[in-house]
């Protein structure tokens, strides 16, 4: 079988694995399932697209959408999600038991446009990799437990429309670009910055806003932001809702804030703002204004209040207001609520002639007001007809002195002077105990069921059903009259229209228990009842929940921005998995045939792998004679070693601490030398061949065999070698006291000959006259009989050069270039003896020593591996046979 045919078979096998029968995305979905509990019961089989798995939407055979909101999933989101490369929408909202950190692998989903994880249990930092999603337009991560900073990389999300990270535990500043890193100021196409209810700190960067931005909502409420409100905020002309309340902002409100003529809700309360009240003239569509609890300069109520003709709610408690309340304030057509508690307002409150028919609450608690006057022509009965929720109080002259409205359980004039008068009534001067006001959607022209078995609930259509419930949170409603039933009717009508247009299985819905809490969010309980069955199945729940998590449902504009948190649904119609589905004969035949084909291809692939392995082994054996050497076997191609062992590269790497610079003790022609320590504590010197110094396998093997046979107490021993991973290394015993060269007495003789004054000739230099001190430093001894003469007179050649020429001749012959021209040592000694005998000197007599010769050990740190001559091992040793 030729190599080409084998390759074609292998490629065909791989293609079959990728495309046969099963969609590749099934594998990745199954990996996600391994980390989840309570997955939909119909997630069985191996074709999520063809079998229409709940929450899975496909294009062709590729998964493009996962919407599993509120089906009680638990576990963690694994990095396998990144393998679904065609995924465009991921919604896992309202699964509170989905926990753990958000995997950074999501950043690899290049086609993802919607990432929706509202109301889950995720925690940890927001991954930087989310900023790498080029198609992301909708990002909703609110109501989790995320911590850490907002990643600057989010500034790369140029297509982002919706950006909601509210109600988490995020901290740090708001990132802006600096030329090197991106920032949120680059999100010029984003419409929603929902960052409220976090722990964000620092100043709001002036660079964050510009005239290029198209923001509609800036919700920064309930954080720890400091500094001033940036002047650049006035450049964002499309802004509709601005919440900066409940921070620690200071300084004056920018004078150009009235350029925001599209703003209808403005919250600046509960900060440290100071200076004069801002002039909001021109903000003609403003509905809700709250600047309470700041440190503004004391001033009278500005006349521009009355120019805000769209105003429904005016909240100005504890803002330094003083003087009388202008009559025109209550004539604003849509005004519902006026709260001016804890100021220094005085005089008489006059409603005027044309006060608004929508007025529901006037709260002047803790001021200096001493009266409440109504113009002539109005009677108490008329006032009651027009204002059924207001309590009016008249004096003996028929003038209205004061009024009280108590839908929220609050008194209007507690803490004012007129409450101490004789005409004062406890009804408006005593603190009320609270409110029992509530709202609930009425029945739709039917007789409600008498009883429903729990947990069934009667629907507005008078059916006992298992509703899906949750809470709607409206972040900035423009109205304040919670008793107006028409607003709830409009809310449920628009919601039902959305359900019907999206063909959702909804019979009816019920709204109840509206309440405003201290953060000024309006909360409304919601129950949604199923149609066609008494229970929702998982598909129905996830589709209904997606309408809210994806903001498909748009409430009436006066409700403002909202989000929804769903409750767990415990009554699924598909709670039981039931019996497994039967498998058709066609599937069985297809699987059998496919299995046989796969088996044949596996056999061919195995044969091909074995053949290639054999070729590789032959090539390796040819290039490396040690390739087949097993140290546990004493035959074959292994080197015949005597007292030396083989080391692996990893072992020597460990012994030298990864060949660090601190272990390096020298370098030479052979390569580098390192000091190492064996596990038994023995010090070794490791010569590591580099580049041109490496030999062929056979030569190196011959070398170590010969070196391993040399054993003598005066010869450095070979401990072992390494021939592994392309390395050639020799391991020698480590000699601690340096080289003989370091201990020779040449420096002493040089001093006597060249530097002593006058110069001294030793006359008797020999090994017994060279002594070693405690540090093995060489000391020249026994030159007490030396004379300051150019020539030694003992040999009788004081004035004759002929004898000296004989010594010079021997010396010159000793330094000839080739060995055959140099005399042997025995010849040199014989010649010297002859010269001495001619001079009458007995060469066998040693001169007396003035110091004892001694041997000693040294603690010096020099070592013998600094000399380049010791780095080369000889390649000219006698050859030995190699098996």
pLDDT digits (tens, 9 = 90+) for 336-382: 999 999 999 999 888 888 888 888 888 888 999 887 776 544 433 33
b vs e for 181-193, b when ≥16 Cβ sit within 10 Å of the residue's Cβ? ebbbbbbeebbbb
**What's residue 495's pLDDT?**
97
Comparing 615 with 582, the larger pLDDT belongs to: 615
Read off φ and ψ for residue 499, nearest 5 degrees: -60, -45
Contact in structure between 287 and 262 (CB atoms under 8 Å): no
Residue 705: its H or E element: helix 697-708
CA distances from 96 to 144, 193, 746, 864 (A): 9, 24, 87, 71
Q: What is the pLDDT of residues 211-221, one digit of tens each?
A: 999 999 999 99
In which band, very low, low, confident or very high, does the pLDDT at 125 lie, cut at 50, 70 and 90?
very high
Q: What is the pLDDT of residues 141-160, one digit of tens each?
A: 999 999 999 999 999 999 99
- Closest by CA to 688, choosing from 675, 671, 664, is 671
* 66-80, 406-420, 779-793: least confident range: 779-793
* 81-85, 393-397, 513-517: least confident range: 393-397
Angle between helix 538-549 and helix 485-501 axes, rounded to 10 deg: 120
Residue the block writes with tokens 């109600």: 167
Coil, strand or helix at 8 = helix
Angle, CA 689 vertex, CA 688 and CA 692 arms, to 5°: 160
In which band, very low, low, confident or very high, does the pLDDT at 763 lie, cut at 50, 70 and 90?
low
Q: What is the pLDDT of residues 548-592, one digit of tens each?
A: 999 999 999 999 999 999 999 988 987 644 333 333 333 434 445
- Whether 632 is catalytic: no
Q: What is the pLDDT of residues 431-448, one digit of tens each?
A: 655 554 678 999 888 877
> What number is the average pLDDT over the span 739-760?
69
Read off φ and ψ for residue 645, nearest 5 degrees: -125, 165
In which band, very low, low, confident or very high, does the pLDDT at 785 lie, cut at 50, 70 and 90?
low
The 10 Å Cβ neighbour count of residue 592 is: 10
> Rounded to whole angstroms, how far apart are CA atoms 548 and 137?
17
> What number is the average pLDDT over the span 519-545?
95
- Closest by CA to 747, choosing from 772, 778, 775, is 778
Comparing 799 with 650, the larger pLDDT belongs to: 650
> Rounded to whole angstroms, how far apart are CA atoms 416 and 424?
11
310: pLDDT strictly greater than 60: yes
Q: What average pLDDT does the structure give for the chain?
A: 80
Q: What is the pLDDT of residues 703-745, one digit of tens each?
A: 888 888 888 888 888 889 998 888 888 999 988 876 766 666 5
Q: Which residues pair with 225 in a beta bridge?
A: 202
Residue the block writes with tokens 């027009």: 386
178: pLDDT strictly greater than 70: yes
> What number is the average pLDDT over the span 795-802?
46
- Closest by CA to 335, choosing from 356, 306, 366, is 356
**What's residue 843's pLDDT?**
58
CA distances from 13 to 9, 576, 836 (A): 6, 40, 93
**What's residue 38's pLDDT?**
94
Contact in structure between 171 and 147 (CB atoms under 8 Å): yes
Coil, strand or helix at 836 = helix
* Contacts of 545 by beta carbon, 8 Å cutoff, 6+ apart: 69, 70, 93, 94, 468, 564, 566
**What's residue 629's pLDDT?**
53
Q: Which residues are annotated as a binding site for ATP?
A: 687
Catalytic-role residue among 72, 764, 773, 792? 764
In which band, very low, low, confident or very high, does the pLDDT at 878 lie, cut at 50, 70 and 90?
very low
CA distances from 296 to 196, 221, 299, 840 (A): 24, 20, 8, 123
**What's residue 626's pLDDT?**
53
> What number is the average pLDDT over the span 184-201?
98
In which band, very low, low, confident or very high, does the pLDDT at 610 lie, cut at 50, 70 and 90?
low
> Rounded to whole angstroms, how far apart are CA atoms 706 and 874?
10
Q: What is the pLDDT of residues 470-499, one digit of tens each?
A: 999 999 999 988 888 999 999 999 999 999
**What's residue 619's pLDDT?**
47
Contact in structure between 738 and 860 (CB atoms under 8 Å): yes
Strand boundaries in 333-389, DSSP class E: 337-339, 344-350, 361-363, 368-373
Residue the block writes with tokens 């988490």: 168
> Rounded to whole angstroms, how far apart are CA atoms 835 and 841?
9
> Rounded to whole angstroms, how far apart are CA atoms 165 and 198?
9
**What's residue 97's pLDDT?**
96
Which domains, ranges and CATH numbers included, belong to the chain?
A: 18-339 (3.80.10.10), 340-437 (no CATH), 457-566 (3.30.70), 796-846 (no CATH)
CA distances from 209 to 183, 476, 719, 860 (A): 11, 21, 73, 71
Q: Which residues are annotated as a binding site?
A: 687
**What's residue 829's pLDDT?**
78
Comparing 617 with 599, the larger pLDDT belongs to: 599
396: region left, alpha or beta (phi > 0 left; psi from -120 to 50 alpha) = alpha
- Closest by CA to 55, choosing from 83, 84, 78, is 84
Counting Cβ atoms within 10 Å, is residue 715 exposed (0-12), middle (13-18) or buried (19+)?
Answer: exposed
CA distances from 260 to 429, 509, 693, 696 (A): 40, 37, 79, 83
User: What is the percent of the chain where pLDDT is above 90?
Assistant: 49
Strand boundaries in 554-660, DSSP class E: 562-566, 645-647
**What's residue 585's pLDDT?**
36
Catalogue the long-range contacts made by 872-880 (C-beta closer than 8 Å, 24 or more residues apart): 872/668, 872/669, 872/670, 873/670, 873/687, 873/703, 873/707, 873/730, 875/695, 875/699, 875/703, 877/702, 877/703, 877/706, 878/706, 879/702, 880/640, 880/702, 880/705, 880/706
- Closest by CA to 730, choosing from 740, 716, 720, 739, is 720
Comparing 635 with 168, the larger pLDDT belongs to: 168
> Rounded to whole angstroms, how far apart are CA atoms 779 and 771?
5
Terminal Cα-to-Cα distance of the chain (whole angstroms)? 35
The 10 Å Cβ neighbour count of residue 362 is: 24
> Rounded to whole angstroms, how far apart are CA atoms 739 and 442?
106
β-pair type (295-296, 272-275) = parallel
**What's residue 493's pLDDT?**
96
In which band, very low, low, confident or very high, does the pLDDT at 225 lie, cut at 50, 70 and 90?
very high
Task: Give Dmax over CA atoms of the chain in angstroms.
Answer: 162
139: pLDDT strictly greater than 80: yes
């Amino acid at each position: 079988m030729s190599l080409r045919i084998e390759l074609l078979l292998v490629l065909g096998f791989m293609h079959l694995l990728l495309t046969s029968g099963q969609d590749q995305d099934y594998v990745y979905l199954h990996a996600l399932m391994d980390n989840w509990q309570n997955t939909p019961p119909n997630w069985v089989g191996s074709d999520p697209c063809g079998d229409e798995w709940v929450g899975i939407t496909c294009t062709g055979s590729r998964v493009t959408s996962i919407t599993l909101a509120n089906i009680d999933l638990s576990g963690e989101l694994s990095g396998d999600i990144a393998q679904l490369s065609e995924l465009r929408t991921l919604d896992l909202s309202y699964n509170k038991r989905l926990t753990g950190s958000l995997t950074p692998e999501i950043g690899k989903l290049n086609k993802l446009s919607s990432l929706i994880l509202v109301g889950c249990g995720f925690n940890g930092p927001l991954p930087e990799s989310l900023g790498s999603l080029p198609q992301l337009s909708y990002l909703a991560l609110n109501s989790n437990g995320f911590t850490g900073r907002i990643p600057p990389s989010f500034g790369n999300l140029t297509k982002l429309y919706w950006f909601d990270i509210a109600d988490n535990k995020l901290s740090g500043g708001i990132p802006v670009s600096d030329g090197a890193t991106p920032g949120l100021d680059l999100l010029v196409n984003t419409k929603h910055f929902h960052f409220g209810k976090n722990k964000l700190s620092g100043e709001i960067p002036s660079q964050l806003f510009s005239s290029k931005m198209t923001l509609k909502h800036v919700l920064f409420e309930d954080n720890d932001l400091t500094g001033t409100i940036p002047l650049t905020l006035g450049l964002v002309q499309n802004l509709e809702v601005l919440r900066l309340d409940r921070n620690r902002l200071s300084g004056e409100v920018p004078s150009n804030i009235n350029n925001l003529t599209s703003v209808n809700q403005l919250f600046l309360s509960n900060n440290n703002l100071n200076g004069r009240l801002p002039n909001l003239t021109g903000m003609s569509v403003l509905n809700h204004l709250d600047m309470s609890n700041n440190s503004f300069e004391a001033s009278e109520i500005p006349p521009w209040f009355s120019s805000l003709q769209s105003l429904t709610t005016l909240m100005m408690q504890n803002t330094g207001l003083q003087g009388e309340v202008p009559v025109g304030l209550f004539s604003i057509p849509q005004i519902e609520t006026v709260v001016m508690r804890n100021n220094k307002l005085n005089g008489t409150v006059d409603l005027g002639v044309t006060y608004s028919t929508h007025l529901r609450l006037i709260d002047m608690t803790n001021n200096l007001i001493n009266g409440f006057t109504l113009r002539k022509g109005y009677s108490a009965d008329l006032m009651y007809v027009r204002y059924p929720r207001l309590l009016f109080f008249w004096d003996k002259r028929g003038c209205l002195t004061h009024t009280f409205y108590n839908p929220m359980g609050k008194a209007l004039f507690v803490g004012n002077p007129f409450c101490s008068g004789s005409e004062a009534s406890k009804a408006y001067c005593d603190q009320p105990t609270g409110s029992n006001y509530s709202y609930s959607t009425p029945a739709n022209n039917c007789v409600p069921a008498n009883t429903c078995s729990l947990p069934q609930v009667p629907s507005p259509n008078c059916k006992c059903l298992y509703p899906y419930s949750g809470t709607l949170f409206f972040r900035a409603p423009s109205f304040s009259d919670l008793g107006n039933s028409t607003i709830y009717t409009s809310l449920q009508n628009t919601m039902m229209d959305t359900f019907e247009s999206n063909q959702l299985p909804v019979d009816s819905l019920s709204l109840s228990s509206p309440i405003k809490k201290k953060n000024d969010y309006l909360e409304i309980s919601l129950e949604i009842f199923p149609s066609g069955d008494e229970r929702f199945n998982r598909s129905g729940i996830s589709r209904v929940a997606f309408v809210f998590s994806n903001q498909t449902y748009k409430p009436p504009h006066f409700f403002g921005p909202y989000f929804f948190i769903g409750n767990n649904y415990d009554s699924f119609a598909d709670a039981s998995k039931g019996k497994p589905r039967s498998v058709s004969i066609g599937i069985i035949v297809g699987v059998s045939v496919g299995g046989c084909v796969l088996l044949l291809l596996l056999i061919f692939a195995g044969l091909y792998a074995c053949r290639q392995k054999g070729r590789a082994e032959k090539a390796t054996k040819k290039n490396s004679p040690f390739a087949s050497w097993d140290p546990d076997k004493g035959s074959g191609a292994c080197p015949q070693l005597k007292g030396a062992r083989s080391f692996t590269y990893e072992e020597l790497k460990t012994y030298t601490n990864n060949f660090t610079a601190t272990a390096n003790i020298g370098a030479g022609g052979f390569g580098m030398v390192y000091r190492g320590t064996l596990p038994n504590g023995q010090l070794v010197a490791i010569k590591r061949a580099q580049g041109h110094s490496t030999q062929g396998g056979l030569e190196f093997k011959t070398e170590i065999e010969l070196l391993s046979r040399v054993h003598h107490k005066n010869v450095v021993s070979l401990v072992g070698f390494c021939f592994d991973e392309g390395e050639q290394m020799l391991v020698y015993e480590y000699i601690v006291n340096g080289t003989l060269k370091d201990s020779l007495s040449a420096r002493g003789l040089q001093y006597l000959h060249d530097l002593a004054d006058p110069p001294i000739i030793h006359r008797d230099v020999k090994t017994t006259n060279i002594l070693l001190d405690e540090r093995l430093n060489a000391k020249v001894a026994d030159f007490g009989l030396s004379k300051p003469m150019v020539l030694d007179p003992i040999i009788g050649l004081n004035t004759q050069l002929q004898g000296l020429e004989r010594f010079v001749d021997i010396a010159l012959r000793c330094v000839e270039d080739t060995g055959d021209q140099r005399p042997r040592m025995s010849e040199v000694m014989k010649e010297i003896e002859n010269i001495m005998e001619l001079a009458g000197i007995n060469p066998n007599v040693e001169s007396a020593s003035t110091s004892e010769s001694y041997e000693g050990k040294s603690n010096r740190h020099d070592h013998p591996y600094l000399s380049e001559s010791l780095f080369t091992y000889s390649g000219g040793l006698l050859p030995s046979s190699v098996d």
